[in-house]
């Protein structure tokens, strides 16, 4: 038995995630499963398709014992920082084993993680401006470890492994073979497991939503079907365009990760682009991945500056979204020993700076679109 940690987005939570939780239960036994879940914004630089509280509840009903919110400053990051921030927090919460889904669980992640972590830093100073950082990183990893890792979950798994090694290997790594659809697979209506992105596509393209209940927990499917709005960049684009057009160059320059003169490119391309896809296509260069540019656009939309991110990093607190009975007991027993701060009730004074301040502020746009308050007045769900 072992306290299990999981890092997840659940955007939305579906039967594949349920399968992973069931596998995690075999590892945890009577110990709790702790989930660190992204809030209302996800790693690829977009708004989540449904609110964090509903997604957390679905995970709790499927066997998670604690669901805590991964702070924005870690959740909306490239794989390395996402993994490092998440692993660090899980370890502070007492997790002993990281359970994660991959395409091929036979890879020796601990070994690969240590190999990659030991690659000298100067091997990572890529100067080839004709390729994205992540392409060059993957090629370098391929050279160093002898084979190429390019399945999306394996890449993330490697990032967890590297982070774990860099943190002094506090956790055991327990990869589990994902079942059903691959990470970005399109919808196959006959399958019992769909990818989250296939489900989001179905919602965005307004197809028959009654199918959802095949792949999602009933309660979550019901809430999702009842939503008037499914957040996506097309919906956000008018706000984004307005912001880029009205911001000064120096304001754009202050945005987190606005580097190498991208503010000029943003200003230049925004006026003529009719939608977000067109904008991204025009801003895209060999140097940056779409994910990087989508995150940068999200930071711009949400007015997240370099200073905001540093303030948040330096003061990351975890909002408790919900718990089971086992989770509550675990919290009660261990809370005072955690090397991280857990927030059960977001307080207005505390939420003026740091990670809470940032989270409250970025959630405002989510609230504007979706109506329900996301932080103030919310309490953890008890399942």
In the annotated binding site for ATP, the residues are: 7-20, 101, 153, 178-179
Two tokens, residue 22: 């069931």
Distance CA 34, CA 99 (A): 10
Distance CA 252, CA 283 (A): 15
Distance CA 342, CA 360 (A): 16
Nearer to a copy of itself, 14 or 295 (CB): 295
Query: What is the smallest separation between the CB atom of 201 and a copy of itself, expressed in angstroms?
Result: 26
Query: What is the smallest separation between the CB atom of 249 and a copy of itself, expressed in angstroms?
Result: 9
66-70 and 317-323 as β-strands: parallel, antiparallel, unpaired?
antiparallel
Two tokens, residue 36: 């660190």
Cβ contact 2:28 at 8 Å: yes
Distance CA 50, CA 370 (A): 9
Q: Among 61-69, 160-168, 257-265, 295-303, which window interacts with a copy of itself (CB under 8 A)? A: 295-303
Q: Residues near 155 by Cβ (< 8 Å), separated by ≥ 6? A: 79, 138, 149
Q: Is 348 in the site for a copy of itself (CB under 8 A)?
A: no
Query: What is the smallest separation between the CB atom of 73 and a copy of itself, expressed in angstroms?
Result: 16
Two tokens, residue 372: 């329900």
Q: Is 264 in the site for a copy of itself (CB under 8 A)?
A: no
Return the residue of 271, 333, 345, 379 that touches a copy of itself, per CB under 8 A.
Answer: 271
Q: Is 332 in the site for a copy of itself (CB under 8 A)?
A: no
Nearer to a copy of itself, 239 or 313 (CB): 239
Which residues does residue 6 pair with via DSSP β-bridges, in sequence order?
Answer: 35
| Binding residues for a copy of itself, total number by CB under 8 A | 21
Nearer to a copy of itself, 328 or 361 (CB): 361
Return the residue of 190, 206, 246, 337 that touches a copy of itself, per CB under 8 A.
Answer: 246
Neighbours of 150 (CB within 10 A): 12
Return the residue of 14, 241, 292, 295 that touches a copy of itself, per CB under 8 A.
Answer: 241
Distance CA 32, CA 167 (A): 22
Two tokens, residue 277: 């896809």
Query: What is the smallest separation between the CB atom of 346 and a copy of itself, expressed in angstroms?
Result: 14
Nearer to a copy of itself, 93 or 301 (CB): 301
**How many CA within 13 A on the CB side of residue 133?**
11
Return the residue of 188, 218, 333, 364 that touches a copy of itself, per CB under 8 A.
Answer: 364
Nearer to a copy of itself, 332 or 352 (CB): 352
The residues binding a copy of itself (CB under 8 A) are: 238-239, 241-243, 245-248, 251, 271, 301-303, 305, 361-362, 364-365, 367-368
């Amino acid at each position: 038995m072992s306290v299990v940690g999981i890092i997840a987005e659940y955007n939305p939570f579906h039967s594949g995630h349920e399968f992973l939780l069931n596998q995690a239960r075999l590892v945890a036994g009577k110990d709790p499963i702790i989930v660190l879940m992204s809030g209302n914004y996800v790693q690829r630089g977009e708004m989540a398709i449904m609110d964090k509280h509903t997604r957390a509840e679905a995970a709790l009903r499927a066997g998670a014992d604690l669901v805590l919110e991964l702070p924005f400053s870690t959740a909306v990051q490239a794989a390395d920082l996402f993994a490092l921030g998440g692993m660090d927090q899980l370890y502070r919460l007492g997790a002993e084993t990281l359970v994660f889904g991959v395409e091929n669980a036979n890879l020796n992640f601990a070994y690969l993680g240590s190999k990659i972590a030991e690659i000298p830093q100067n091997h990572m100073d890529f100067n080839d401006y004709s390729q994205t950082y992540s392409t060059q990183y993957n090629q370098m990893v391929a050279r160093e470890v002898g084979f190429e890792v390019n399945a999306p979950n394996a890449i993330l798994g490697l990032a967890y492994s590297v982070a774990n090694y860099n943190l002094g290997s506090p956790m055991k790594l327990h990869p589990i073979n994902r079942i059903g659809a691959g990470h970005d697979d399109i919808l196959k209506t006959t399958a019992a497991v769909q990818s989250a992105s296939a489900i989001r596509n179905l919602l965005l393209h307004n197809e028959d939503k009654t199918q959802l209940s095949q792949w999602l927990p009933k309660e979550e499917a019901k809430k999702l079907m009842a939503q008037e709005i499914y957040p996506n960049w097309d919906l956000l684009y008018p706000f984004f365009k307005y912001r880029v057009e009205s911001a000064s160059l120096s304001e754009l320059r202050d945005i987190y990760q606005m580097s190498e003169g991208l503010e000029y490119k943003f200003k230049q391309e925004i006026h003529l682009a009719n939608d977000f896809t067109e904008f991204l296509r025009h801003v895209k260069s060999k140097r940056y991945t779409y994910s990087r540019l989508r995150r940068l656009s999200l930071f711009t939309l949400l007015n997240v500056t370099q200073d905001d991110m540093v303030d948040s990093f330096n003061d990351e607190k975890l909002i408790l979204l919900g718990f089971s009975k086992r989770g509550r007991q675990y919290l009660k027993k261990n809370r005072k020993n955690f090397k991280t701060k857990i927030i059960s009730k977001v307080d207005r004074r505390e939420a003026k700076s740091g990670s809470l301040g940032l989270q409250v502020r970025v959630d405002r746009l989510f609230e504007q679109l979706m109506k329900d308050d996301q932080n103030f007045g919310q309490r953890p769900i008890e399942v």
